[in-house]
């Protein structure tokens, strides 16, 4: 059953509910083309902001994970250092007392174990430094991409101002900032020589 809506539900006007009639626009063809360009520019900038934000978050996560691995590696390095220090103290004490060092059940002497601990420490140190370098690289990429995302969002805001004010100068400024954000996005993704892109 259809109900005819000839008369309003209520005669009272609710404040703030005036809806402008946009069906009959008085825009010229050149203005419509300009509005279309601003709309397309805004859409491209939104896509760039989205991509920059996604990669920025991904690199931040990778930086945190690498920092955790770095911390674990340095802790392991210190544990080997403590073992080495205890072993060297034992060796010095036995030497000072003119007592022979007892070989453990494995058959490896104290001097050989000390040399093994030193070698393991060097390997752990190299690995920790490698992870630390990766963490710094990921953090740098995150910062660059966050800057690209911010620039894109500023450009989008300028496009909105251009649409509201109908001023070409705001749109041109938006396009310049948008190009800067695209350059920052490319720089953030491809500028490093030590890391490959995520894809």
Give the pLDDT confidence score for residue 156 in this predicted structure: 92
The pTM is what?
0.68
Domain range list for the chain: 52-190
In whole angstroms, what is the distance from residue 120 CA to residue 4 CA?
87
- Highest average pLDDT, of 25-29, 85-89, 178-182, comes from 178-182
How far, in Å, CA of 177 to CA of 174, rounded? Answer: 5
Per-residue model confidence as pLDDT tens digits over 150-182: 999 999 999 999 888 888 889 899 999 999 999
The alpha carbon torsion through 126, 132, 137, 140 (nearest 10 deg) reads: -160
């Amino acid at each position: 059953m259809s109900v005819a809506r000839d008369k309003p539900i209520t005669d009272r006007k609710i404040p703030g509910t005036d809806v402008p009639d946009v069906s009959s626009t008085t825009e010229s063809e050149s203005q419509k083309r300009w509005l279309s360009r601003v709309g397309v520019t805004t859409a491209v900038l939104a896509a760039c902001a989205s991509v920059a934000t996604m990669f920025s978050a991904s690199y931040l996560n990778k930086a945190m994970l690498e920092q955790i691995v770095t911390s674990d590696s340095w802790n392991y390095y210190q544990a080997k250092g403590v073992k080495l220090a205890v072993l060297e103290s034992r060796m010095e004490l036995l030497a000072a007392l003119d007592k022979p060092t007892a070989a453990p059940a494995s058959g490896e002497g104290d001097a050989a174990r000390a040399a093994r601990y030193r070698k393991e420490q060097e390997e752990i140190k190299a690995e920790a430094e490698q992870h630390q370098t990766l963490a710094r690289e990921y953090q740098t990429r995150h910062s660059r991409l966050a800057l690209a995302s911010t620039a894109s969002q500023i450009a989008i805001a300028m496009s909105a101002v251009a649409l509201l004010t109908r001023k070409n100068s705001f749109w041109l400024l938006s396009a310049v900032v948008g190009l800067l954000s695209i350059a920052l996005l490319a720089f953030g993704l491809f500028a490093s020589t030590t890391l490959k892109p995520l894809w």
